């Protein structure tokens, strides 16, 4: 038995030896495989990191710029009510974007309407019908830096605004704006005009399928004014401006509006006599009157303070946009002295500066709006700044110019005609203002 055991022990020890070799061999293979896997995993991870390092983040894909002082962000009511809105939702960004800072980029898709598909364009802004020969100004869109701006969605807007009312309150630029608004909406439903004043300056339309009402109220100063001027802008006497009284033309209707777009403007640059507390306190540009020259900026600030206080302290909690001043692009003179605007391309960043008067007015607007937003937010009022000044400065090509009249050079190619370098062709750059409006209504909390 002992011999057998010894004899049997050799193959047994050989078996164990072979197994030990196989085990070592197997362990070696496993270790090599594990090392290879770790090396491959590290390589993949390193490769991924390198790829991420060389791919610029979305926020840096476009150049950055300093943002102007604008209103404090406040929560609009529609955002939580309509989370399913997909067509009008901007890309979510880590940092809030300034939707008013950007540039104009080429857009082959062109405008949402034409002078043939919209029938509410006033003759003075109907540039194509009046014979403007170029059309390049129609193929640009506003492109904010670091965030996306969707195109205005008429169908979606009318759905959101069912049983609501909007008002555009201000001067002829507000009327220009409301026509753009109407033209875009008319691609879904034709509005019915239900009211106009004697001079056709103030109007109201109704969209019956959505029970949506849209108004424009002509009040060029927003405050009480006695104006002695005909429809062609010819004055027979100085404007009498009451700096402590609002224009009841709009304040008496204010409670009827769910949304309002309010704007001051160029009328404050006109010669005017200023009144407060039933006394004449001074004027703007009134030589020979023996009155204190207070300047248009004095009157404009007083007027905005009165307007914004009315809005922020009102029991009626409308959603209000305050639109900033609109620049003109007269060159080689003013509207009354042969000024023109013959450019056919937008300006690029750095190619143009705002005029001094526009800078003064916009600074006042930013300062007063910022204070009013803070007060309004404490009173449950939603007030937002619609800062269209800078993006408009870049569009000298978007005005009617001589084509405010029908075929101005049909009889004489060298005819001297009055140019309009303040209002906007329809369709034209002003249509982008509506893209901004809808985005701020739906997603306003995303923007500074």
Strand order in the sheet with 223-226: 223-226, 239-246, 272-276, 279-284
Separation of CA 184 from chain center: 15
Question: Residue 386 corresponds to which tokens in the numbers above?
Answer: 């619609």
Catalytic residue among 71, 154, 165, 172: 172
Ordered DSSP codes for 131-199: T----GGGSEEEEETTS--PPP-HHHHHHHTTT-EEEEEESHHHHHHHHHHHHHHTTT---EEEEE-TT
Catalytic residue among 387, 420, 431, 435: 420
The question of whether 423 is a catalytic residue gets the answer: yes
How far is the C-alpha of 167 from the C-alpha of 178, rounded, in Å? Answer: 9
The question of whether 54 is a catalytic residue gets the answer: no
Preceding amide of 223 cis, omega within 30: no
The question of whether 247 is a catalytic residue gets the answer: no
According to the 3-state scheme, what is the secondary structure of 376-422?
A: HHHCCCEEEEECCHHHHHCCHHHCCEHHHCCCCCCCCCCCCCCCECC
- Three-state DSSP class for residue 255: helix
Catalytic residue among 202, 298, 423, 435: 423
CB 120 within 8 A of CB 179: yes
Helices 296-312 + 356-378 axis angle, to 10:
20
Q: Which residues are catalytic?
A: 172, 420, 423
């Amino acid at each position: 038995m002992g011999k057998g055991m010894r004899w049997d022990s050799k193959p047994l020890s050989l078996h164990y030896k072979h197994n030990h070799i196989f085990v070592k061999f197997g362990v070696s293979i496993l270790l090599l495989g594990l090392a290879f896997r770790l090396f491959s995993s590290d390589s993949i991870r390193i490769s991924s990191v390198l790829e991420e390092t060389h791919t610029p983040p979305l926020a840096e894909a476009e150049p950055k710029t300093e943002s102007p002082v604008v209103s404090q962000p406040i929560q609009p009511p529609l955002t939580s009510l309509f989370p399913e809105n997909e067509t009008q939702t901007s890309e979510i960004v880590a940092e809030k974007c300034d939707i008013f800072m950007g540039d104009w980029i080429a857009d082959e898709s062109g405008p949402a309407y034409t002078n043939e598909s919209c029938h509410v364009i006033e003759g003075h802004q109907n540039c194509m019908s009046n014979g403007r020969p170029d059309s390049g100004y129609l193929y640009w869109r506003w492109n904010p830096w670091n965030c996306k701006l969707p195109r205005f969605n008429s169908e979606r807007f009318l759905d959101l605004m069912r049983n609501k009312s909007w008002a555009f309150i201000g001067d002829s630029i507000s009327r220009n704006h409301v026509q753009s608004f109407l033209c875009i909406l008319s691609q879904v439903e034709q509005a019915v005009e239900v009211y106009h004043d004697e001079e056709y300056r103030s109007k109201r339309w109704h969209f019956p399928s959505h029970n949506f009402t849209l108004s424009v109220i002509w009040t060029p100063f927003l405050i009480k004014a006695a104006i002695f001027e005909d429809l062609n802008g010819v004055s027979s006497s100085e404007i009498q401006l009451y700096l402590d009284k609002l224009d009841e033309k709009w304040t008496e209707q204010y409670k009827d509006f769910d949304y309002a777009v309010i704007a001051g403007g160029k009328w404050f640059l006109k010669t005017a006599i200023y009144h407060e507390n039933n006394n004449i306190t001074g004027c703007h540009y009134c030589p020979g009157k023996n009155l204190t020259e207070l300047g248009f900026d004095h009157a404009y600030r007083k007027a905005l303070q009165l307007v914004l206080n009315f809005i922020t302290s009102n029991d009626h909690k409308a959603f209000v946009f305050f639109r900033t001043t609109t620049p003109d692009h007269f060159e080689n003179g003013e509207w009354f002295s042969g000024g023109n605007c013959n450019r056919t391309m937008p300006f690029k960043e750095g190619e143009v500066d705002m005029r001094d008067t526009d800078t003064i007015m916009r600074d006042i607007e930013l300062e007063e709006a910022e204070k009013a937003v803070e007060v309004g937010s404490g009173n449950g009022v939603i007030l937002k700044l619609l800062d269209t000044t800078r993006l408009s400065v870049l569009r000298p090509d978007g005005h009617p110019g001589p084509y405010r009249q029908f075929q101005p050079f049909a009889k004489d190619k060298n005819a001297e005609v009055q140019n309009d370098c303040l209002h906007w062709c329809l369709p034209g750059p002003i249509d982008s203002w509506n893209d901004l409006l809808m985005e701020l209504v739906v997603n306003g909390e995303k923007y500074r």
